[in-house]
Structure 1
């Protein structure tokens, strides 16, 4: 039976000409054939026909995918952007809940800044204390790790162990999560092994953390830098680790698990571990006495010079600027500061890049007798506050709102079932 108007068999697959497919896709006819060559579209030449034809359903599906990729639509209820009231980055400044973050960090301790991020309210004199049970569980787990375990390994294990000691961890109410937050941050610090014997866990969080990073006595000027670094690094909008935290919270993972998701991402050399690379570079410059040969080796090897440039700041990273100003007041930091300036000036002959917070952290850790991994520890502990703020915010949104659809670019189905030993790419494997 045939349709009287089109002459097409009733129930037959509807097919489009090249011109019709191009119009539906909003592209030129040449682009339609490019889709065919890339395997995104299949064509067929009809008997007696002068050109190729395309399955209408397949063309329509490709048009929908193209619209999703161009941001004109979403799928599966997923959101193309994340609503947040926590951090705004604007030119060369950034803000925590509308307040200049650098000014906030200059006037308040890390604990007070964390409370502001979590609640939008300041708690003067806020102090975090870790309960005995989660600290004991976290320390046992951390102590069982091999000696070569890195700081993020320890923090990740500590977070998981502390969760097992909290029977209320699945309560996602704001009050319960805030209680978890105020206990988890100091628990992570307490789980790290002290560097100097006889270290006592008392006083502000920065003082407790110092004893786990350096064997030197803590002077007030250095503690001020450490506390300021924690506050400045507490959040930075949707960095990779923060996005991971929000995805976990969107699935209603508890706060410990959400923080663990962030710790899993932060270990990358392009994120939390970047300060360690800058630390090592700084020590090499101090050893050589000049940045020129060190920068030459980095560029010759095709490596990016660590500690320089930031994709969100066209000028100097405001966090670096604030820390460098404090480090100027510490005589012991003078050689490392001079080396950092040499790195910036030498690299500027090739590419005009400003110092970022990783280089500022490297100056602090190198001049304080801390290992190269200390910056990673500071970053992770600091960012825990921001992660929890984002988890709290995400718990108030629709669940699973961050579920993007994949854009499938594999072979077009249907394909025959693979034979025994056949590889996924279509070749034959061994027995």
Structure 2
């Protein structure tokens, strides 16, 4: 039975269920009760029920304290801590190499943001282009996939095909890896099947990606949203996919293989594919005319509301804030934008979760005649820049350091041989 919070009392005594508390803290429900046993949280039993509720202000204070400790280089017991100079997240904001990431993505195209992540130097006018030989190999491999293959499938296959065509892929010097990065990202985009014929497939990466996602002709306001989204999503500290990339790089896998490791992780609904769930939610809200019944159905089924909440931000996701502001200037985005705000406002009556980047991305994809999977494609292409940056950083560390020790919980030996 899912814990239910009692009806709200005064605003100063907001109560959260165990599930909501776990989401805000980014932990499992069992860990919430471990915090209680250690005196870090207080709980109150639900009258007549088996669950407990928690004071929202106390939970938010603990979440802020955990983030500060993580940002300061220390980790909670049992957590892996990795020193990195790429992205810092603190106080509801994030920074690429010390620079406000939202401002950087808003003022510079994705190509320049990527170069900043890789080199720490801004390269005005930077462009990403792939040789025709690399594109041809990747396209042939992707075209051979079944029609129902998803974005992550296509991008993984494209990365593997591009790797097989590069005999120098095992050169892990910084210069060689940067060369790979500047070829791989445009190859991934070019390998995707076009959404329609006759669209202009040249220019900045955002324009080329658009032709793979929507059959509409893009205007400058929508291209600006897409380009900014790519920059905002280029990195986000040690997300699950980025950790996978660093593990691969620690084993000295080449850059294509490291990126493939990241692509293997983002397919999960709690990571890169989350915007697709938010996309479908928005379409249902638009179809039914109100977020109320849609949110009610999600809660009745025991599902979390997609597009809301982020373990690293107590307030609104700064990436969502930037994209929502840009979407205000896209006239055909108005209905989806209103639906997203309706979802956030309706859910706020139940829990103090704010809109995250998945909801903003869903507004963009749902209003741009894109499939629900488009957000996953945008995320994967964008994040490849950050993955390369982390792979480069990891190549400079001691090999195979990403090797945690297992905590064996099976039967103690010696055990008899099975009969």
TM range (shorter): 0.7 to 0.9
In the other structure, the counterpart of 1:411 is: 411
Structure 1 equivalent of residue 111 of structure 2: 111
**Residues 34-93 of structure 1, C-alpha deviations (whole Å, 9 max, x = no match):** xxxxxxxxxxxxxxxxxxxxxxxxxxxxxxxxxxx9849xxxxxx942110000000210
1:246 is aligned to 2:242? no
Deviation string for 1:387-421 (max 9, x for gaps)? Answer: 000000000000000101100000001112111xx
> Which is further off, 197-206 or 107-116?
197-206
Pairing 1:252-267 to 2, within 5 Å after superposition: 252-267=252-267
**Per-residue deviation, 1:353:** 1.2
Deviations 1:255-305 (A, max 9, x none): 000000000000000000000000000000000000001001000000000
**How far did 1:202 drift?**
1.1
SS of the counterpart of 1:89?
Answer: strand
Query: Tell me, what secondary structure is at the counterpart of 2:89?
Result: strand
Q: Distance in 2 between matches of 1:129 and 1:194?
A: 17
For 1:106 and 1:285, the matched residues in 2 are separated by 29
CA distance in 1, matches of 2:100, 2:404: 33
Q: Deviations over 1:147-182 (max 9, x none)?
A: 000011000000000001111000000000000000
Report runs of 4+ in structure 1 exceeding 6 Å deviation: none
- Whether the 8 Å CA contact 1:128–1:182 is kept in 2: the answer is yes
Matches within 5 A, 1:85-96: 85-96=85-96
Which residue of the partner structure matches residue 270 of structure 1? 270
Whole-angstrom CA distance in 2 between matches of 1:263 and 1:369: 24
CA distance in 1, matches of 2:192, 2:80: 38
2:316 matches 1:316: yes
Unaligned runs of 5+ in 2: 1-74
Distance 2:118 2:189 in 1: 19
Q: For the residues of structure 1 that align with 2:416 and 2:334, how far apart are their CA atoms?
A: 69
Aligned partner of residue 313 in structure 1, secondary structure: coil
CA distance in 1, matches of 2:321, 2:208: 25
Matches of 1:134 and 1:247 in 2, distance apart?
26
**For residue 370 of structure 1, what is the aligned residue in structure 2?**
370
Alignment partners' CA distance in 1, 2:220 and 2:76: 53
SS at match of 1:211: helix
Q: 2:199 touches 2:217 (CA, 8 Å); kept in 1?
A: no
Asked which structure has the greater CA Rg, the reply is: 1
Equivalent position of 1:152 in the other structure: 152
Q: Structure 1 residues 124 and 157 mapped into 2: Cα distance closer, same or farther (>3 Å)?
A: same
Runs of at least 5 residues in structure 1 that lack an aligned partner in the other structure: 1-68, 73-78, 420-431
Give distance in 2, aligned partners of 1:279 and 1:417. Answer: 53
Aligned residues between the structures? 345
1:53-132 paired onto structure 2 within 5 Å? 71=77, 80-132=80-132
Which whole-Å CA distance do the structure 1 matches of 2:81 and 2:114 have between them? Answer: 24
**1:405/1:326 Cα in 2 relative to 1: closer, same or farther (>3 Å)?**
same
Match of 2:219 in 1: 219
Matching residue of 1:304: 304
Residue 397 of structure 1 pairs with residue 397 of structure 2: yes
Would the aligned equivalents of 1:213 and 1:370 in 2 still touch at CA under 8 Å?
yes
Contact 2:88 2:95 in 1 (8 A): yes
CA contact (8 A) 1:91 1:312 kept: no
CA shift digits 1:172-229 (9 cap, x unpaired): 0000000000000000000000011133431000000000000000100000000000
Determine the C-alpha separation between the residues in 1 that align with 2:197 and 2:103: 36
Which aligned pairs between 1:157-196 and structure 2 lie closer than 5 A? Answer: 157-196=157-196
Q: Distance in 2 between matches of 1:227 and 1:405?
A: 41
In structure 2, the residue matched to 1:61 is: none
* 1:209 matched residue in structure 2: 209
**Structure 2 Cα separation of the partners of residues 243 and 361 of structure 1:** 23
Number of the residue aligned with 1:282: 282
2-side partners of 1:93 and 1:115: how far apart? Answer: 21
Q: What is the SS of the residue equivalent to 1:212?
A: helix
**Mapped partners of 2:92, 2:156: distance in 1:** 32
Secondary structure of 1:88's counterpart equals strand
Q: Secondary structure at the residue paired with 2:304?
A: coil
**1:51 corresponding residue in structure 2:** none
Q: Does the residue aligned with 1:393 lie in a helix, a strand or coil? A: helix
Deviation at residue 307 of structure 1 after TM alignment? 0.3
